[in-house]
Chains A and B, each alone.
Chain A
């Protein structure tokens, strides 16, 4: 029995523990569009690419819930708030948690973004990351930063890039384990007013291969849009829809992983009146 336990533990510990998606993509729009997030401009840019919030006005609030593989233990929750200050930039605070009970990953972020004309927006986010283990194991925490930029290349084409935890520093609390270093870049092409295509490339230093994703959004009716996308490595297919009212926008999405099954996502964004 001891031997089995030892082997199981060894199998578990052999891989870097932080290799999980600590910098996972949040927001119902990204979830529906194959997790393409770098060029998005919404309250969720706070976690996906801080530069994206540079041009948002007034207050924004967002809540997001993802039931990954339809399991409560792998649920992902996130919340974000943004306040823009004229001539200074945009400030935001976000919190997210994956898992619960015996194991959870949390991230708390403070972000600032600013636009320099239409061609360049920069964003910076300072994050505190926390791993929680049940049954008396100590929690582990670490600080990290993320940097992002977006650029409106032409009227219809936008490019973005983002890097999470760019300098792989080993912190004492992590027992030699490493934080993932994740880099993403992508393009968003607004073909016509009611149709957008987005593609993203992601590389995680601790994961082999490159993650490719693509998706599109189609404004079917004035308030109702339809989205779909794919991701490669792992291969995920996603669909979703959004309904927007005056202040409120509701996003729903579903993702299909062929081995693990379906995940569902719901997001609510609330925008206060312009000042």
Chain B
């Protein structure tokens, strides 16, 4: 051990010397004065974001293949980027227990956290970020992602102990304003000259507003103690002001919404308050407990990242700062702490979108309580038809969560009740026979996590008030620092109903599903990393895609190699087999068939001349189905990112050529975007995709992003434009 300590000091001294000699600490990241400046040049700032994006978008790309989950993925990514941005402003002290926050965000795995604790127990507090390299289970990517958002202070940072007074909160708080504008240009036919009568006659065909998407966000924070903000958004095609509309149309639209932005949200969040209040959230917030079988909204990543990340770490109450219009709560939530117990209570009242059932002349008595056929979560109100669904019903949710936390064991219980102002009654069909119907739903669940030195067992059992169950049981183990495997079994009852489900699942609803998951993460040699997983799932009831109980498998293999400090190569393979109804109806109308989509991706990333980051990608997608509809898709791309050292700007460019036979073999590929945004175009057909992203920092407090993306297909050209201004003061 003494030997180890000596080595540690030699290393630290060397690094300090290197940093002094080359003077390459980053200036832009503010660090609390009592901590050591951790950031050396070996971890490039650009690289940090790049690694984070890469990790995020692997998840998001996986979700982008599932049409139902695309929207959720985009909200989740946006939310994580907001959290990341927030942490850049108020870094987490890795020498304190606040580091568990990074686990909740999925930036640090459970075992990395454990290794860190162990390291601190043996050798005391960390002093430099480079020390993380000596802790087993910490790889370069993780360190690069962590670098801007952590610092190494004394055990408890001064900011977290002192009392928050109003004057301090006003004078020392940090503010951030984000303005984001985007629009798409499409040289296909325009819809400008549609007359009012036509718009009223075909309410779903015409967008009422202009094609600009606008987002305005204001965030305030005081360390990690106080957060507040407002967000407003208008999607492309949504109305901002009604001036351009004709009188009749304006009257119609006014019935559904007032002028202004389409979405407004506000949040206030406080931690470590008086009277044992651990957290208090007012306004918009997200909740997540246990493994997500009972209640989980917001940030949730599934199977794609592999490793132990399928074991979820619930964050409890978290403010919702994004402008996503999917699932969230609006009201109040608080967590109280008493010794080893934590109690969360919440109440939420919100108007949500729903499709009203066509009124029937015979059902007069039901007029007081309308029927709705489906809840809408897309958040789009572009056309008259979509506007009619806006805020049509009221949703009340209240409930709570109680946890017992000890170092080895965590046990939690969740219960909540949802009340809708209208009765949800989907149009009866065989596949939706067991969907939730009615206006009230209660869910309850028990979750646990039991931690042994090298193994963690976790699980959750949930119940909906129709006495249907869903359960999850898993284990994740770390035989050595560089090996990690996970086994997980999940089973959702056929009649299980839940409106706020966030657990690992294959179907979008999480009903009538059973699945087995095996994941393995391994570093067979220094610089090599292998992540593999397999998921076998079975749907016990019909789905909208296949009119029979069905099953499928998913495999993923990712091999990455760090060639040198500046170069990595990664190979990714993914295969998913599922069942669907056959398209040809000569024999049986809905014959179930298997289809498989495989994607192969080779990604090479390297830096030259210190400030030029180059990267190449080769993607190949293959689609094959039992009814002999086979297709292929390719993509080849070159990325160039220019980030001059010590200069306030950077440029990033991609040129990609793609070719795919049809939509089935489309290629989803992530693109760098303006901060906090998300872009994964699905490319099909034959063409070129180019984007150019630029960023410039002005006066030390303003960041300007601008991005233009062009997709050139044989018959048309699509352009998308984005601009963002972030002001920090």
**Are the CB atoms of A192 and B483 closer together than 8 Å?**
yes
Q: Which of A71-79, A108-116, A132-140, A231-239 touches B?
A: A231-239
Q: Whole-angstrom distance between the alpha carbons of A194 and B477 in the complex?
A: 12
B479 and A191 contact, CB distance less than 8 A: yes
Which stretch, B193-201, B532-540, B637-645, touches the partner chain A?
Answer: B532-540
Bound: A228/B555 CA distance, A: 15
Taken together as a complex, chains A and B put the C-alpha atoms of A194 and B536 apart, in Å, by: 26
Q: Which residue of B lies closest to A214 (CB)?
A: B532
Q: In the complex, which residues of chain A have a beta carbon less than 8 angstroms from the beta carbon of B477?
A: 218, 220
Q: A129 contacts the other chain (Cβ, under 8 Å)?
A: no
Partner pick for B479 among A189, A195, A228, CB 8 A cutoff: A195
Min C-beta distance of B245 to chain A, whole Å:
55
Quote the shortest CB–CB distance from A200 to chain B (angstroms).
Answer: 14
B483 adjacent to A195 (CB under 8 Å) = yes
Measured in the bound complex, the distance between the Cα atoms of B553 and A237 in whole Å is 10
Instruction: Write out the residue numbers on chain A whose beta carbons fall within 8 Å of the beta carbon of B483.
Output: 191-192, 195
Say which residue of A189, A197, A220, A235 sits within 8 Å of B553 (CB atoms): A235
Chain A residues near B479: list those with CB within 8 A: 191-192, 194-195, 218-219
For A237, list chain B residues within 8 Å (CB).
516, 518, 534, 536
Within 8 A of B (CB), among A204-224: 214, 216, 218-220
CB-based nearest A residue for B524? A189
B272 to chain A, nearest CB (A): 39
By beta carbon, the residue of chain B nearest A259 is B551
CB within 8 Å: A-B pair count: 50
**In the complex, chain A residues whose CB is within 8 Å of the CB of B628:** none
B455 on interface, CB distance cutoff 8 Å: yes
Q: Which A residues have a C-beta under 8 Å from some C-beta of B?
A: 189, 191-192, 194-195, 197, 214, 216, 218-220, 228-230, 232, 235, 237, 239, 256, 258-259
15 A-B residue contacts at CB 8 Å?
A191-B483, A192-B479, A192-B483, A195-B483, A197-B520, A214-B532, A216-B520, A218-B477, A218-B479, A230-B534, A239-B487, A258-B536, A258-B551, A258-B552, A259-B551
CB distance from A171 to the nearest CB of B (A): 37
Which residue of A214, A216, A258 has the most chain B CB atoms within 10 A of its CB atom? Answer: A258
Beyond A191-B524, A197-B522, A230-B518, is A235–B536 a contact (Cβ under 8 Å)? Answer: yes
**B485 CB contact (under 8 Å) in A192, A216, A259:** A216
A211 CB to nearest chain B CB (Å): 14
Q: How far is the CA of A21 from the CA of B577 in the complex (A)?
A: 25
Provide the B480-492 mask, 1 if CB < 8 A to any CB of A, else 0.
1011010100000
Contact residues of B with A, CB < 8 Å?
455, 477, 479-480, 482-483, 485, 487, 516, 518, 520, 522, 524, 532, 534, 536, 538, 551-553, 555, 577
Is B536 a contact of A256 with CB atoms below 8 Å?
Answer: yes
Taking each of B487, B518, B553, which has the highest tally of chain A beta carbons within 10 Å of its own beta carbon? B518
Given A195-B483, A228-B518, A229-B518, 7 extra CB contacts under 8 A: A191-B482, A218-B477, A228-B487, A230-B555, A232-B555, A256-B536, A258-B552
For B482, B536, B552, which residue has the most chain A Cβ atoms within 10 angstroms? B536
Which residues of chain B come closer than 8 Å to A258, judged between CB atoms?
536, 538, 551-553
Contacts of B485 in A (CB 8 A): 216, 218, 228
Of B480, B551, B552, the residue contacting A191 (CB under 8 A) is B480
**Residues in chain A near residue B577, CB distance under 8 A:** 235
* List of A residues within 8 angstroms of B532 by Cβ: 214
Residues in B neighbouring A232, C-beta threshold 8 A: 555
Query: Nearest chain B CB to A214's CB is how many angstroms away?
Result: 7
**How many Å lie between the Cα of A233 and that of B394 in the bound state?**
50
A195 to B455, CA, bound (A): 13
Which residues of chain A are within 8 angstroms of B534 by Cβ–Cβ distance? 230, 237
Contact B480 A220 (CB under 8 A): no
Contact of A195 among B480, B487, B518, B551 (CB under 8 A): B480
Closest to A212 in B: B555
Q: Which 7 A-B pairs have the closest CB atoms?
A: A195-B479, A258-B551, A192-B480, A230-B534, A237-B536, A235-B553, A191-B483
| Chain B positions within 8 Å of A259 at CB level | 551
Given contacts A192-B479, A228-B487, contact A220 B455 (CB under 8 A): yes
- Residues in B neighbouring A256, C-beta threshold 8 A: 516, 536
Min CB gap A35→B, angstroms? 14
CB distance from A87 to the nearest CB of B (A): 36
Docked pose: A220 CA to B479 CA in angstroms: 8
Alpha-carbon distance between A229 and B652 when the two chains are bound, in angstroms: 42
Q: How far is the CB of B524 from chain A (nearest CB, A)?
A: 6
CA distance A68 to B516 in the complex (A): 19
Bound together, the chains give a CA A154 to CA B577 distance in angstroms of 37
Minimum Cβ distance to chain A for residue B342 (Å): 31
For the complex, give the distance between the alpha carbons of A237 and B483 in Å. 21
* B487 / chain A contacts, CB cutoff of 8 Å: 228, 239
A215 to chain B, nearest CB (A): 9
**Cα(A214)–Cα(B577), bound, Å:** 18
In the assembly, what is the distance between CA of A88 and CA of B538, in Å?
52
By a CB distance below 8 angstroms, the chain B residues around A239 are: 487
Closest to B537 in A: A258
Instruction: Tell me the bound Cα distance from A226 to B524 in angstroms.
Output: 20
Closest Cβ neighbor of B575 among chain A residues? A232
Could you tell me the distance in whole angstroms from the C-beta of A32 to the nearest C-beta in chain B? 12
Which residues of B sit under 8 angstroms from A220, Cβ to Cβ?
A: 455, 477
Residues of B within 8 A of A230 (CB): 518, 534, 536, 555
By a CB distance below 8 angstroms, the chain A residues around B520 are 197, 216
Interface-centre pick from A218, A219, A259 (highest chain B CB count, 10 A): A218
- Smallest CB separation, A208 vs chain B (Å): 14
| A-chain residues with CB within 8 Å of residue B522 when the two chains form the complex | 191, 197
Name the residue of chain A whose CB is nearest to the CB of B516.
Answer: A237
Which residues of the other chain, A, contact B524 by a CB distance below 8 angstroms?
A: 189, 191
A153 vs B485: C-alpha distance when bound (angstroms): 25
Please report the C-alpha to C-alpha distance between residue A237 and residue B534 in the assembled complex, in whole angstroms: 9
B406 to chain A, nearest CB (A): 22
Identify the closest chain B residue to A230 (Cβ). B534
The answer for the CA separation of A192 and B455 in the assembled complex, in Å, is: 15
Q: How far is the CA of A239 from the CA of B455 in the complex (A)?
A: 17
How long is the Cα–Cα vector from A173 to B174 in the complex, in angstroms? 88
In angstroms, Cα B538 to Cα A197, docked, is: 27
